[in-house]
Every structure is written in structure tokens, then in C-alpha cells.
Amino acid sequence: MWNNSRARGVHGYASSRRAAAEAMGLPFVRPYWGGQTAGNFASGANFAVGGATALSPEFFRERGVPMDDDTVHLDMEMEWFRDLLGMLCTGGDMDGCKGMMNQSLFLVGEIGGNDYNLPLMSGMSIEKIRNFTPSVIAKISSIITELIGLGAKTLVVPGNIPIGCIPMYLMQFESDKKEDYEPKIGCLRWMNEFSQYHNKLLVDELENLRKLHPDVTIIYADYYGAAMEVFLSPERFGIEDPLVACCGGRGPYGVSASVRCGYGEYKVCDDPAKYASWDGFHPSEAAYKGIAIGLLQGSYTQPPIVSITNSCPQIIGLGIENPLAACCGGGGPYGVSETARCGHGEYKVCDDPQLYGSWDGYHPSEAVFKAIAIGLLRGSYTQAPLACPQIPELGSSVEYKRERMASSTSGRRGAAAVVLAAVAVLLSASQALAAPCYPRVFSFGDSLTDTGNIAFLYGNDSRRPTLWPPYGETFFHRATGRASNGRLIIDFIADALGLPFVRPYWSGRTAGDFAHGANFAVGGATALSPDFYRERGVHVRDTVHLDMEMNWFRDLLGLLCPDDLADCNDMMNQSLFLVGEIGGNDYNHPLIGGVSIRKICSFTPSVIAKIYSTITELIGLGAKTLVVPGNLPIGCIPYYLMIFKSGKKEDYEPETGCLRWMNGFSQYHNKLLMDELENLRKLHPDGMMNQSLFLVGEIGGNDYNYPLMSGVPIEKIRSFTPSVIAKISSTITELIGLGAKTLVVPGNLPIGCTPTYLMQFESDKKEDY
């Protein structure tokens, strides 16, 4: 790593590259000057130094900018790297390091920021500073070139952050001119434009380097774009004051000319996680984490970093340290107890819910819900991707966020829980490619999906803990009816689709209230009715079930299409339906009531049949795109880990510590669900054709190969080509007639590079090659 002060000029565990190391399963990268032996650097080294520049002090002094001799610069950091190679490479043989260089990830930057910061703070004009930028980029390019020469194969090169959003600059260059500021965020426009100028030159240079080294992966990390997500939608990251320093002086930006963080009569905010700047110069840990999420999970790397991290499947969520413990509840190893529940009794709440896999011992934390949503939207855990090519990575939408927050009074809805279980996209609508590609979402489910219906149905019922604090504290800062500390999966899906959070059905009254869909899910809901269980000797209290939710949906259709339900056909065609997760409570209630798992297994076919009949009815009403989630790995739920605790080692999965037999049951449910969905696909093939990718070819090569090998002249073979193309065209036409919507049609290979042809048609004429 080569970097400037942004490597650790912050409270907490430092920068976005620290978060990246964590996400990739590595220890935090050791500072070069913190190690002495080769073993100290087994996982790499960080050469970054606070205040470092790309160019040497001499460069700036020659141009009238004072700079200390002891300022570290990029050439010095490279010299340290060469010294380290001498230690790591046996016998000083650099060739022996090739394998290590090939397999390592190199982060070259962010560097260059201080090349501009120091002149800016000295009063130099931005016009003159722009003259330095080509030299800064040239220095970065030369370092990259040297690293490639030493064997580096994968390099990440970050751009500059939006410096117009730095509190110290906002104070120092405060302006009375409205046009000097960006209207949505309040950052200095001209400074951010300078950052973009630097980044444009850097991107162009990296493209040149890629052309020179096609076998090397050079990834541009768009720190500017990822950071702007934080400034444009700070509430998404739990940040309340994006342009104010947590630690520093007074004033509107939390900084002053006379007081700095750690010097003078400085102040420190109560909660740094609510600030995007730590000390007026450097981002806070919360901002760094937001940037890292944008890089690792979003669209802010070119090419996408996921293209080189397929062997790093753990890059889906950041920082969960206690996956099998509840944040809110009682004591014990799983954070739950028989006597204290979240919101009841002498319960406790952890300091940071994002570090826990479970919120209350029953339901996932917001961090897990987000990781599940990422897996769903990426297509990693769906049997087919959502047919929505413009879906951004989570957290990239901005414009509608304020509207969503304003309408969140009644809660949002969290569609199904996907984690490591089966999630199947049943049908994909060809029509649903507008912007947003699904203009509305309708959802059915239970507490994993309920975003507020429970509040309208059960009012102030003290037996419903999701109606009371501390539920909802992380994102909404109040209880909304969601069974988590923050948002649910459907909230993240709506965000990614460019929609406001989906309104709970019981919070709306008019057709206009449901312009973006409706959520019918209710906490505690089952797929089957209570009567089903009572007839089988299982006590279940009266509760909402799937037939009731479907009745509400039919009532809503009557409101939306008062004259004729057929008028709703287009709306149904274009909507996204989430049917579940449902069925979990059909098993939870009996399990907690002491019913044997063998008897509960006998309920599963009926649960699946109910989901099947609901999907069939929705398709009959015109639904074209349905997402049907499977069950969670219930053996990982803290409450079950407590009540079914076992002294037998074989009862637990060795890699996770979850209960094996319970997870086996979840897989049984999911297997039956997937089999039934496959049957539905066969009954409704129009959806299958719509959602499938057709590769027509490469075909035609052998139409030429056989004649060529037989000695037919190329002139005659050329006469065959129109017939070959006509045949391909007719095949494509037939597939489209059957409903195909996405076809890839490859061309022919450069057959002149085929070794057999090179041998058979070898020529003495130079111009033939």
C-alpha cells in the first residue's frame, strides 16, 4: 500500500482499505515501520505515511511552495518497498519474488491529495495548482510501471476524494456566492471540480497503462463517487452531519483556525459514527466504511473489483463479529435468556448492532438483512437474476431518499430472508425494464417482511416488542414495527430499484397511497391457518395467515381497478411480487411448543402447497415477475441455539457452530419449495423464455472448415456465407416467436490464427500474414 494521511488520520480502525482487508479475510495490513522480520510481513505491508506527497519537496520548493525536507513522498515509499523485497526474496534474488508479486494485491494510493492540500493552505491559486496535476499523475504512473516490472499483476489505484466537502476547506474558503456551492450537498463546487480534473487525468493514464500491459489488472477505485454517496445520502450510513467535523473547534463546520483536534480547547462529539469527518481533514470511520462498501459492493471500481474477488465470497458484508449472538436480549453465550427478551424484562442492548448477526435472538440484524439483499440483487443466491439491467449496487440511489424518510412513519417492508438458503425467481417479466424497471412492489410474508402492518393491527399491545424501543434504533431511531434494529431486505431492494420504501397495506387509504405497491406482511404470520394446526393437536393463537394477506390484496385490487380487474393487467405485468419469506412461523410455533421435528416435517408439504396456490392465483391475475424466498438457516438463530443446546459435538456444524439438524430441516423445506417452483415454471413457460439468456452460436465455423480442409477455394466458400447467416437469422426469429427476450449471437473466431490452418496454408509471402 502506498498512501498519504488518509491511511490512519481517523478515530477507530482507520480507512477504507482497512475495511477492505477485513472483508477479504486478512488481518489489518502491518505498517512497514512496525515490522522487523520477513514473518512480520506474511500478509503484506503498508508504506503509507500521514502527510505524504506523490512529488518530492524539491518539486514544490522550485515552484515557490514551502515544504519540509522530512516530508515523505512516493519515491521514498517505493525505496522502502525495494528494501522489503530484499528481505522477503531468498538470497536477494528478485526473480524468487515473482510468485509473491503475481499473487498480491497492490493499492497505489490514494496519493496526491497532499500535493494539492499544502499549496492550497498556503494561499496558492487553484489555477497554478492545476499545473502540478500532470506531474502528480506521471509520478503515480511511474510507480505503477515499476511495480508491474517487478511482477505485480493486480493493482488498485484510487482517485481523489471530493475535497470541496472537507470541513476545513469549507471554513477557509467560505463564500457568499450561492453558485460556489453544490445545491444538493453544500460542498464547494470549484474544489470538487478540481478533484474531478485530477481523477480524469488519472483514469486516462490508467487506460494507457492497461493497453501497455494487457496481462495486468489495473483497477481504478472511484473514491470520489463512493464518497459522494455518503454526502448525498448520509442517513443511509447512519450519518447526521456529513459536512461537520466530530473533533475540532466551533463554528458551522466544527473547525476553526485556532483550534484543531488534539490541540487547544478542542471538542469531541458524543458519537463519531454520526459524522462524515473526524477532524476536519480526514473522513470518519463511518465515512471510510461507506466508501469501502461502495468499492467492494458497488459500482465504484473500474473494472468491478468483484471481477478479481470471485475467490473471496466473504465480500458481501463488513464487520459482523458475533454472527450467532443477539445484540438485544439477555445474557449467556448467545445473548438470549428465558427471562429477558429484547424490550421486556432486564434486557441489554449491545453498543454496535452492526457487529451482530441477530438483533433480538429471533430476527437478523440490519447488517445481515443488507448482506442477504446484496446476495439476492447480485444474483449469487437466486436461480435467475432480476430482469433489471439498471439495478445499481445497494446504496447508490439518492434522489428519492428524502421522500422515503418522510413517508417512513408507517414503516417499510422487508421482503424475504434469503441467507444461505434457497431463493428462487419464478418468472421474469419482459415488460419490466422501465426506469425504475419495476414501478411497484407487492409483498407477502411475516416478521422478516413486515414494515409496519403489525402496528396498525395490534396498536399498543405490550406483547408485540417490535412496536417499542429499542427496535428500529439504528436507522429510523424509533420503533416502526420492523423486527430488527433497522431496515429489512425489502428496504434495501426498494432502494436498489429506485423506489421509496414499500408502504404497509394497513397504513394507506387511497389508491394514490399505493402508487409504488403495498406490503401485506405481518409479524407472526403463517402460511397455513390456525385451524390447520389445531386439527393436528398443535396450539396456535389466532394469527394472520397467507389467505388473509391474499384477501387484502384482492381488496386493494378493487381499490386500484374499481371498474374492472382486467384493467389491472398491465400493472400486474410490470410489478415485482415477493411471496415470502413465509412458512417460518408454521414451524417456529410448534418447535417452541415442543412438537417433534418429525411431526413438523409432515406439515411442510402443506406449507409449500399453500405458497404454490398463492403464486398460481397471482399469475392468474397477471403477475409476471415473482421472487419466492426460501427459509433461513434456523439452526443459526440464537434463541434456538439456547433452547436446543446440546452436549453432542456432532449436533453442530463445524464451520459455523449452528445446529445441524435444524439447518437440515430448513434445507428440506427449501428443497420442496424449489421442486414446486420448477413445476410452476413448466406450467408457465412464457416466464421462462423471458428470463432466459439464449446463446445462438458460435455457429457457422464448420460450414467453412469442412470445405476449406477439402480444398474448396475461399472464393467459393464466400458464396455460402449469405445462406449461413440466413439460417442463423431464421433460428433467432423462431426463438423470439417462442418468447425469447435476450439473445447473444457470437461472430466467428479469427480462423487465420488457428494452428492447423497456419500449418496447412503456410505461405512464403510476408504480406499473407
Query: Tell me: the pLDDT tens digits for 318-360?
Result: 567 889 999 999 888 899 988 888 988 889 999 889 889 999 9
User: Using CA atoms, how far apart are residues 370 and 359, in angstroms rounded to an integer?
Assistant: 13
CA of 505: how far to CAs of 200, 400, 444, 514, 580, in Å?
Answer: 47, 21, 10, 8, 15
User: For 672-701, what is each residue's pLDDT tens digit?
Assistant: 999 999 999 888 876 545 556 778 888 888
Letter for the amino acid at 52? A
Provide, rounded to the nearest whole percent, the portion of the chain with pLDDT above 90: 56
| Most confident of the following: 168-182, 374-388, 453-467 | 168-182
Question: 659 with 651: CB under 8 angstroms?
Answer: yes
At 5 the pLDDT is 42
Query: What's 383's DSSP letter?
Result: S
Q: Which range (32-46, 226-240, 370-384) has the least confidence?
A: 370-384
- Tell me what the mean pLDDT of segment 16-24 comes to: 51
The rounded mean pLDDT for the chain is: 84
Beta bridge partners of 358: 326, 364
For the record, the C-alpha cell of 674 comes out as 424449489
The mean pLDDT of 246-267, rounded to a whole number, is 91
pLDDT of residue 133: 96
Burial of 214 (0-12, 13-18, 19+ CB in 10 A): exposed
Q: Which residues contact 102 (CB under 8 A, 6 or more apart)?
A: 151, 152, 153
Q: Would the pLDDT of 23 be above 90?
A: no
Give helix 285-297 / helix 223-232 axis angle, nearest 10°: 120
pLDDT of residue 412: 27
Q: Kindly report the pTM of this predicted structure.
A: 0.55
- 303 preceded by cis ω (within 30°)? yes
For residue 441, pLDDT beyond 50? yes
- Give 537-585 pLDDT, tens digit per residue: 898 889 999 999 999 999 999 999 887 766 788 899 889 999 999 999 9
Q: Alpha-carbon distance 17 to 28, whole Å?
A: 9
Higher pLDDT, 380 or 680: 680
pLDDT band, very low/low/confident/very high, at 221 (cuts 50, 70, 90): very high
Tell me: the pLDDT tens digits for 88-147?
Answer: 886 656 676 888 899 899 999 999 999 999 899 889 999 999 999 999 999 999 999 999
Q: Quickly count: other Cβ atoms within 10 Å of residue 620's Cβ.
A: 9
Residue 255 has pLDDT above 60, yes or no: yes
**Which range among 151-160, 177-186, 751-760 shows the weakest confidence by mean pLDDT?**
751-760
C-alpha distance from residue 542 to each of 371, 464, 529 (Å): 33, 14, 8
pLDDT of res. 749: 86
Residue 224 bridge partners (DSSP)? none
Q: Per the omega criterion (within 30 degrees of 0), is the bond before 722 cis?
A: no
